[in-house]
Amino acid sequence: MGPRAFAVETNRRRTSTSTFALTVATACVMATGASVDTWAQTASSPPRDPSHVLPPVSVEAGKQSKPARPKAQNGGRGARRTPASAARSAQNQPAVAPTSGQSSSTALKPLGGKFQQPGIPHPAQQSITVVQREQIEQTSPTSLLDILQGVPGVSIARAGGIGGQIYLRGFSSNNWRSPMYVDGDRFRGRNTLQLNYFAPEEIERVEVVRGPASVVYGSEAMTGLVNVVTRRPTVDPFGPWRLTHGGFSAGYSSVDNGFSTYEWAQAAGLGFDVLGGVSYRKGGNYQTASGPALNSDYESIGGNLRLGWSPDYNQRFELTLRDYWEEDGRAGGVGGAPGWPYMQVRQQPNQVQMAKLSYSGDFADQLVQHVEGSFYANYFDTKLATVNTATRGVTTTSVSHVGGPLVIGGRAQGVIPWEPAQWGLVKTTFGLDGFQEWRPGSSSWSMRQTATSSTITPEAKNGPDSAQANMGAFMLHEWTPIRLLTLSAGGRFDWFNTTSELSPVSSARALSVLRNNSDVTTTAPTGSVGATVHVTPVLDLLASMGTSYRYPTNSELFAFSATSIPNPELKPETGVTYEGGFQLNFPTATFKVTAFDSHYANFLQTIFVTYNGASVTQSQNVGHATVDGVEAEARWQITPSVNLNGNVAWLQASNTDTNTPLPYIAPWKGRGGIQYAPPGQGFALSAAVDWGASKTRIDPSQEYPTAGYAVPSLYASLDLGVLVSPRLGDTKLHLSLQNIFDTRYVSAATYVNRSYPQSMYNPLLEPGRNFTARLTHTF
């Protein structure tokens, strides 16, 4: 495929995806799952957000959102409740959806003094941060990266305007150690690009699990995971068919002259509900304090549709469809470093199509009182164009088509809350999950130009097809034998099979190694134990131990590319983490501190090797590593109007075999904020300072030292229906001024290439001063 044909194909896919999204918007009645949680402003705990499909294992968290039953059911298994469990049950009742004319936005509500509980299963002692819808609305982020940058233990590594990776407890999502989930289901297939796929307007909340989560989520959840909870229906599906809600948002950002919009609508009746929306984002090169970051522009469009059916108040079936298309440039970072002027990398286009069938049901009189399951299929397609001008007088253009993978998967899960006589309260969550991934070998073509000649290499397949299958079973128990003690214990067993074709392979030695390892099967057990000691009503002591593992992906084992070669002899990486800490629970404040010590064996790293006379990268088991850290976060609702919040994290990581630091570790990082949101006054104001310490403990072969920084920002949300005219209804204006002093700074986690000089692209600078404005309206 030549450059002209490639451009035509890009435009065709753009038109196709745009048509799909607009068809969804006009042919279906669309809606949003805007948050309807009500945060407590005084001593009471906040209601749990019930929008997620998976119930948590911790006894504090709530179940899936469902319309309230018409009358309470008495008797049956589990009917006996202690006063504490009754109070928790009252907190977990689903919120009533707003009627027409009521505000469905949460942006003007105070954050509260309690940490919101996640919806995904987890041990009670697990460190989890929930970024709520009100925080997303107030800060007007451009991408999922911006949403995650304030989470303790998380560092972002930007590659462009919306692209990049996160580092969770020191390890990059690009290196398969912190998987991503969407509404509780595995989202696997583009670890380098997976954070690009979601416009912030589509997201209800983001749940970040920190620490080993392999006991529930299997391979790769070594340092935690990110679960994106998308917006969901919020109305009673029964009654006559009617249009219930709709709306739009439109935003502008000055740093990249960017524009974004989201349109949605919702309808329900006769046991059905339907929700859908269309998102669009476009931005130019973003500005840094040192000038524009060239090749950081982006454009994306996405469409989503949810169709639900509830045969009764206790059961729900749902079909979810999603299509997303985007094109963007990598100014630097993974796959783009050293960036301009040496290299220009673009995804054009980058696309994903998603479909899922799911079910959930509650059965009060049965042993298993909550069951749910899902079956999903995701298909990815990317064309990656690279222009390399690192050699003076020579321009090399290469285009790689990464078709697939096609991933199908699913899960089935049940929850048993039971109270054996004289044994206290017990909750058991058990389930099965798995996936099958088919990854075709990529194809590529290239053109090399000099002042006097032009050489074209025709498109050809450059790697064999491969496949990977996984099936896992887990069980997690939480036991409260007495009020002063809560114990948790869980275990999981996984089976993996990875296969590969033997063609094309360009080296006889590589073919021999591949033939000996072309069909590999292995198993992996994991487990965790934990305890919470309720020393006083205010003080909880927390301790846990968990094992984890990462089975090499079929890409690492078998995939060839222009810059990397496979390693079929890789061994699984394993880890064990010890955690301890405490949590203070005041009526209007929460403060939590966690210290951890992680040890890894058969540690996987990307190494430069020589293959067929060229320098390329390869994943290798390099030995042992440790990561130590401390994380703290707090919220304090000082008055019904004033909230203080903040977090801080410290990390240190080393290869213990060589006694050298691991690269891209942010040693100290944190955020402090204050919010003023007087109830009923129609506005909310907040300020935050993001900061990071300088980094001098580095791996000099892979990174440069970085300077410390402190970046203040201001935010305001205004309810125009209150402040201007009631005729405007639920119309809000969100304003922000970020990086007020136009600070020049770079994340300590940003990838660089030491073969090239240090510059604003190597490592890539963060955006400079940015004014944003977003107008939203809900009917």
- Closest residue by Cα to residue 362 from 306, 307, 310, 419: 310
CB-based contact 557:567 (threshold 8 Å): yes
Left if phi > 0, otherwise alpha if psi is -120 to 50, otherwise beta: which for 239? left
Across 136-150, 275-289, 521-535, 675-689, least confident range:
136-150
| pLDDT value, residue 764 | 95
| pLDDT value, residue 35 | 33
| pLDDT value, residue 105 | 57
Q: Per-residue confidence at 192, pLDDT binned at 50, 70, 90?
A: confident
Across 232-246, 493-507, 622-636, 710-724, least confident range:
493-507
Task: For 138, list phi and psi in degrees, rounded to 5.
Answer: -65, -35
For residues 81-89, average pLDDT: 34
pLDDT digits (tens, 9 = 90+) for 452-477: 899 999 988 888 899 999 999 999 99
Q: Per-residue confidence at 77, pLDDT binned at 50, 70, 90?
A: very low
Farthest-apart Cα atoms in the chain, separation: 88
For residues 279-302, average pLDDT: 97
Task: Match 């020191």 to its residue by tokens.
Answer: 170
For residues 267-295, average pLDDT: 96
135 to each of 62, 138, 337, 669, how far by Cα in Å? Answer: 20, 5, 32, 19
Task: Match 């999950």 to its residue by tokens.
Answer: 433
What does the mean pLDDT of the chain come to?
85
Neighbours of 457 (CB within 10 A): 12
Q: Which tokens is 250 given? A: 């439109």
For residues 721-740, average pLDDT: 96
Question: Has residue 421 got a pLDDT over 70?
Answer: no
**Could you tell me the end-to-end alpha-carbon distance of the chain, in angstroms, rounded to an integer?**
48
Query: DSSP state, 564?
Result: B
Q: Per-residue confidence at 54, pLDDT binned at 50, 70, 90?
A: very low
> Residue 13: helix, strand or coil by DSSP?
helix
Question: Has residue 352 got a pLDDT over 90?
Answer: yes
Q: Which tokens is 376 given? A: 């999903």
d(CA 37, CA 45): 12
For residues 301-308, average pLDDT: 96
d(CA 230, CA 391): 45
Question: What HEC string does 391-414 produce?
Answer: CCCCEEEEEEEEEEEEEEEEEEEE
CB-based contact 127:579 (threshold 8 Å): yes
d(CA 143, CA 203): 10
Burial of 76 (0-12, 13-18, 19+ CB in 10 A): exposed
Question: What HEC string does 652-711 produce?
Answer: EEEECCCCEECCCCCCEEEEEEEEECCCCCCEEEEEEEEEECCECCCCCCCCCCECCEEE
Q: Which tokens is 192 given? A: 């380098």
| pLDDT value, residue 555 | 79
d(CA 766, CA 136): 20
Neighbours of 241 (CB within 10 A): 15
d(CA 497, CA 426): 35
| pLDDT value, residue 509 | 62
CB-based contact 31:244 (threshold 8 Å): yes
- Domains of the chain and CATH, by start: 3-778 (2.40.170.20)
| pLDDT value, residue 269 | 96
Question: Has residue 36 got a pLDDT over 70?
Answer: no
pLDDT digits (tens, 9 = 90+) for 424-446: 899 999 999 999 999 998 888 99
Task: For 85, list phi and psi in degrees, rounded to 5.
Answer: -70, -35
647 to each of 119, 227, 464, 655, 689, how far by Cα in Å? Answer: 22, 20, 46, 27, 11
| pLDDT value, residue 15 | 46
Torsion sign over Cα 504, 510, 516, 522: negative
Q: Per-residue confidence at 334, pLDDT binned at 50, 70, 90?
A: confident
Highest mean pLDDT among 47-56, 328-337, 499-508, 760-769: 760-769
Q: Per-residue confidence at 502, pLDDT binned at 50, 70, 90?
A: confident
DSSP 734-767: EEEEESTT------TT----TTS--BTBBTBPPP
pLDDT digits (tens, 9 = 90+) for 542-593: 999 999 999 988 878 877 766 777 888 889 999 999 999 999 999 999 999 9
For 330, the enclosing helix (H) or strand (E) is strand 315-330
Neighbours of 724 (CB within 10 A): 13
Across 86-100, 239-253, 577-591, 727-741, least confident range:
86-100
Q: Between 631 and 71, where is the model more confident?
A: 631
| pLDDT value, residue 39 | 35
Question: Has residue 724 got a pLDDT over 80?
Answer: yes
∠ Cα 385 389 393 (to 5°) = 135
| pLDDT value, residue 518 | 82
Across 25-34, 100-109, 197-206, 659-668, least confident range:
25-34
| pLDDT value, residue 506 | 65
Burial of 621 (0-12, 13-18, 19+ CB in 10 A): middle
| pLDDT value, residue 155 | 93
d(CA 323, CA 687): 36
Q: Between 108 and 101, where is the model more confident?
A: 108
| pLDDT value, residue 412 | 97
For residues 215-225, average pLDDT: 93
Across 83-87, 402-406, 607-611, 686-690, least confident range:
83-87
Q: Per-residue confidence at 106, pLDDT binned at 50, 70, 90?
A: low
Q: Which amino acid is at 513?
A: V
pLDDT digits (tens, 9 = 90+) for 599-608: 999 988 877 7
347 beta partners: 328, 384
| pLDDT value, residue 516 | 75
For residues 345-365, average pLDDT: 94
